[in-house]
Amino acid sequence: MTVLAFTRWLATTSLMRWWVEKRASNISGPVDRLRFLQTHQVTLKDLRARPTVPVPYWVVLVSGAAIGVSFLGVVSWRSAKSSPVAAPAQASELAKLERPTPVAKITAPAKIWVVESTGAIDTYSNGLRVEKKFATTNRPRAYYAYKRNQDLEISLTIRNQPAGIVFHTTESHMAEFTPEKNRTLRHYGENLIGFIREKKAYNYVIDRFGRVFRVVEESETAFHAGQSTWADDQWVYLNLNDSFVGVAFETQTVKGDESPQITSGQMVAGRLLTEMLRAKYGIGAFNCPTHAQVSVNPHNMIVGYHTDWAGNFPYEELGLPDNYALPLASVSIFGFAYDPAFMMSTGARMWKGLLAAEDQIREQAKQNGRSVAAQKAALRERYKKLSAPLGDSGKSAEGE
């Protein structure tokens, strides 16, 4: 086991255990607390696994220090109730930190306009260049939104303007990013975009050189989000193919706490494209989640059917707040559950959103005089009722 692998292992297991313990300590009532712990049993069983090779003491120290830094930098939590047994120093230090209120500011981007439009390329005033040679059509956007109130009343107007952006990864083959592999890189990229065009999978793709390709026209639906849900402070959206623009980065998903595999060119292009779309459609910063944040599986009522950008999307570099801190609508509004596999793939940043969602459910349960479990069950029923008439609006590029 390498130092890096060991560090990752330790980070995952220690972080998970700390999170589970801390979270459980804040749950009042023996039944709810036990239920919470039991839903995380698989993860805890993983704690039994130890490195199979001896690890030098200094590695443990260095790893511990690294994790301490990452804890302080990435995770913050509300103060926990005091525990009758002494907490480890690391946890007690962290417990002093306050969790930030997960509300993102709506800041309207500056006005951005098309400077020049040729048959092949659109050039925008912020420097964005969009290649159009793969552009295609599908069907016009048309969707309903639901008012974010007790009953989630449906808005009677059919909407056709995008309300947000969902960020994806293409999960395609990746060649080494070196000049020697230029030909392979181009070959992979073009094949990929051809495939995406055929499947009408995204509205935009950003290849590894940072080139932005329009695939499905913005005014039309791409099959990018499948079964999914998201909400802003006024509206709730179901099955986001119609309501959100799908933007995919040519890259592969890595575990949530690992560095994203994204080139500097993609980073710049992603920022410019996001700016343009937000300016054009007045998209709020908090309506720019990743696919992992919106994806759900209605068959087992668990979130995160897709886990692209599950915990390492470079929000800040794209000029956005850390939307991982926002409560997951699927959990807080529709009572979806999450499993240890999702927790392990997301990493600490996404956990903040899960915590926020759980807090909201507890508050709702209190207001309704129900147990948390009963509240979640009621929310799940609500989802089933609202999603039943939606038909194949949750279709994905894989045809699910």
Partner 1 sequence: MGKVQQGAFGLDVGTSRVVLAQQSEGGRYDYRSQLNAFVTLPYSKMTENVLRKENIPHKVEGDQLIVHGNESERFADLLQVESRRPMTKGVLNASEPASSEMMKQLINSLNNGEPGAGRSLYYSVPAALLGEETNVTYHEATLGQILREMGYAPKAINEGLAVVYGEMEETNYSGIGISCGGGLCNVCLAYLSVPVLSFAVPKAGDFIDQSAAQITGELSTRIRITKESNFHINGHYSDKVQQVLGVYYDDMIKSLVDGLNHTLANTRNMPRIAKPVPIVLSGGTVMPAGFRDRFEKILKDSAFPLAISEVRMASDPLTATAKGALVAALAEA
Tell me how far apart the alpha carbons of residues 311 and 291 are, in angstroms, rounded to a whole number: 11
Task: Measure the CA angle with vertex 275, ends 274 and 280; round to 5°.
Answer: 100
Structure-token pair, residue 239: 């099955």
Of 2, 6, 7, 17, the residue at the interface with partner 1 (CB under 8 A) is 17
The least CB distance from residue 13 to partner 1, in Å, is 9
Query: Which residues, in sequence order, are CB contacts of 351 under 8 Å at separation 6+?
Result: 19, 75, 343
Residue 102 in tokens: 């997960």
Beta strands in the chain (DSSP E): 114-117, 121-124, 129-131, 146-147, 164-169, 204-206, 212-214, 229-231, 235-238, 244-249, 296-297, 302-303
Nearer to partner 1, 24 or 174 (CB): 24
- The verdict on 376 binding partner 1 (CB under 8 A) reads no
Smallest gap from residue 41 Cβ to partner 1 (A): 5
What's the closest the beta carbon of residue 327 comes to partner 1, in angstroms?
Answer: 24
Token couple for 97: 């930190």
Whole-angstrom distance, CA of residue 15 vs CA of residue 13: 5
Binding mask 87-116 for partner 1 (x = CB under 8 A): xx----------------------------
- Amino acid symbol at 55: V
Which of the stretches 15-23, 95-103, 109-117, 187-195 binds partner 1 when contact is defined by CB under 8 A? 15-23
Residue of 1, 3, 44, 267 that binds partner 1 (CB under 8 A): 44
Nearest to 326 by CA among 356, 348, 306, 349: 356
Query: Least CB distance from residue 82 to partner 1, whole Å?
Result: 10
| Chosen residue from 3, 66, 254, 373 binding partner 1 by CB under 8 A | 373
156 scored as a contact of partner 1 (CB under 8 A): no
Check residue 377 for interaction with partner 1 (CB under 8 A): no
3-class DSSP state of 220: strand
- The residue range among 82-90, 171-179, 190-198, 253-261 that interacts with partner 1, by the rule CB under 8 A, is 82-90
DSSP states along 31-55: HHHHHHHHHTHHHHHHTT---SS--
Q: Closer to partner 1 at the Cβ: 13 or 346?
A: 13
Closest approach, Cβ 68 to partner 1, in A, equals: 15
* Structure letter (DSSP) for residue 369: T
What residues between 19 and 38 interact with partner 1 by CB under 8 A? Answer: 20-21, 24-25, 30-35, 37-38
> Applying CB under 8 A, which of residues 53, 54, 57, 86 lies at the interface with partner 1?
86
Give the span between the Cα atoms of 389 and 398, in whole angstroms: 21
Select the residue interacting with partner 1 from 12, 15, 40, 124 (CB under 8 A): 40
Residues that bind partner 1 (CB under 8 A): 17, 20-21, 24-25, 30-35, 37-38, 40-41, 44-45, 47-50, 83-88, 373
